[in-house]
Structures are given as structure tokens and as C-alpha cells.
Amino acid sequence: MRLSAFTVVDQFPLPEGQGRDRYAEVVRLAESAEAGGLSGIWVAEHHFQPGGICPSPPVLLAACGARTRRLRLGAMVSVLPFHRPVDLAEEYALLDQLTHGRVNLGVGSGYIPTELEAFGVDPATKREPFDRSLATILDAFAGREVRASETAARLVTLNVRPVQTPHPPLWIAVQRREAIPYVARRNVSMATIPYATVSGITELAEEIREYRNALPAGSRAEVAVGLHLYAGEHPDRARAALDRYLDSRLKTQSTFYQAKAAHDPHHASRAGLEESGLVLIGTARDVAARLDEFRTIGVDEVLGIFDFGALPADDVSASVRALGAAFPG
């Protein structure tokens, strides 16, 4: 099982976020992840609200790639209905060229109502543009002719192609359990953020078994799971930061977490998430040991959310390096 870093690039009001350059902090997170022996860094795409201030993962990942040499560079996720697919294909192909084949591509259809509304995407029919966009991106990566826009008069081919063939490794983000068979039938790797969607590790294990059972025979598709992690000497600071983070998820209309909080406030609270094992806070040795349970249930990559809730940047860097040293891989 691999360990990576994952950031939603959330921004916090004063005083916790005073004078902080979140983009520089993400680059520092990438440097710490590489120094700590982690597999990669993943960045979320969000728009128009402080719960996420990275509207263009390829731009931020290019900055991370310039300061690292080995680290995998992932989008989790690129929200396909918000963009022309040919633009995304060109941007991620160029990023793969610039970083010599280090790109991981996670894709999704969006879930925050204010973002969907701003881009004119109907939540009830968003899978249709998602499917069309993904098909176009994969065709473009493969060198097949595509339309640059729905009204384009002629077909085009990319003049920049990804280093990785036939395309960078692909994940689809899943927040609704009923979407699991859809992802599995496509033989695509699955990513999930369980703190927002499941009650505990037992339910997560059930979802992973359901996914594995629906994959085609011989599939090598993987499961990635996002977890809030802190390994260090200041657990009280980490818990306070996580409280701020969870409060922000409610304020920014994080739909699935809002539903979980409404259904069972305790299980959605910081204390409840720690009890259920979906948040790991402790010493590096303790957190590394508890991560082994996720290996047991079939997780291939843990996406560690280290920089949550305006946790001090020095704490984040120390946590990443300490856990990287303690994690057996």
C-alpha cells in the first residue's frame, strides 16, 4: 500500500490563516512528501469559495513538479463538466511532458451545489457530460481525432501527447455507493473520501469488496482512499484544526458530508471520525500501525490529508516526514 499527500487547498479566515500563502505551502508539502518517501501529491479542483482555492490543478502541479524529481503528481479530481475536454487533454498531456511522465489523473463530475450552479451543470444529468468529456479526453490522449468544441466544423488531433501510454493512470472519484459498479465496469481505479460518506472502516471494506467483485477478471484497477492524518507531538493542535476543517465543509455545502452530519452528527464529528478510524491522529508509529488496517481491507493508496484547517505549516511538514519514515510501504 502506498502513502501519498492530498490537499484540497482550503483557505481559512483570520486569525488562523493570517498572512499564509497556501500555494507556497502546497509546494512545500510536495517537497516534504518527496523527502519523506511518499508516493505522490494530489490536488483538488474547486471554484468560487474558500473551501478550495485551486481552480486549475495542472498549474499548481506543474509548480510542484518543478521542485521535485520523483513524486507522482495527481489531480483528485479534475471536474470534467466544468471544462472543454480538449483543453483538459492538452493541459494534462503538457504536464505529463514537463514532468517526464509523473501525472496521475483523477476525474469527477462535481458535487458542490454552488460550483455546479455557477458552471450551469444540472446535478441530475451531470453524468452525461462527464461521460462525453472522458471519452473525448481518452481519444485525444491516444492520438485519435476529436472535436475541439461541440460546434467545431472539423476534427483535430493533439500536437502534444502524454509521455505515459495510452494515457496517465486514471481514477474516478466515487461518493455515492450506487456509482461503484459503474466505475468498476469501466475497469478504472476508484477513489473515495470516506470521512464524508461512510460510517466506518467496516462499511468502507464492504464498498471495496463490492468494487472488486464488479471488476472484469484480471483487472489491475486500484482503490485510493483519502484520510486526515497527523503524526506528531501536537495532537491538540491537529484536533483543533480538524474541527475548523469540518466546520468549513458544512459552510461550503460539501453535500455528502452535510448529509452525513444531518443523519448522524456524532459520527460526522471529529471525535466520531477518530472513533471510527477514519481520522488518524497520534505518534508516527501509532498512525503507521493503524494504517495497516486499510491495507487489510484492500486499499492500494492512502491519500493523506495533512494540511487541514490551517494547521501550522511546520506541523504539516513534520507530520509528513515523520509518517513517511515510520510507514512501511
State the DSSP string of 189-209: EEEE-GGGT-SSHHHHHHHHH
- Residue 218, phi-psi category: left (phi > 0), alpha (psi -120 to 50), beta (remainder): left
Q: How far is CA 239 from CA 199, 232, 274, 306, 311, in A?
A: 19, 12, 10, 12, 9
Domain assignment of residue 36, given as a range: 2-326
Q: Cα separation of 96 and 162, whole Å?
A: 5
CATH number of 7's domain: 3.20.20.30
Q: How far is CA 108 from CA 30, 185, 194, 243, 281, in A?
A: 23, 16, 16, 26, 29
Task: Going residue by residue through the chain, which has 329 residues, state the pLDDT in tens, using 9 for 90 and above.
Answer: 999 999 999 987 655 556 789 999 999 999 999 999 999 999 999 999 888 999 999 999 999 999 999 999 999 999 999 999 999 999 999 999 999 999 999 999 999 999 999 999 999 999 999 999 999 999 999 999 999 988 888 999 999 999 999 999 999 999 999 999 999 999 999 999 999 999 999 999 999 999 999 999 999 999 999 999 999 999 999 999 999 999 888 877 777 878 877 877 777 789 999 999 999 999 999 999 999 999 999 999 999 999 999 999 999 999 999 999 999 77
- HEC secondary structure over 140-158: HHCCCCECCCCCCCCCECC
Q: Cα separation of 33 and 30, whole Å?
A: 5
Residue 172 pairs in a beta bridge with: 107, 190
How many domains in the chain? 1
Of 36, 42, 44, nearest to 64 by C-alpha is 42
Q: Cα separation of 18 and 241, whole Å?
A: 14
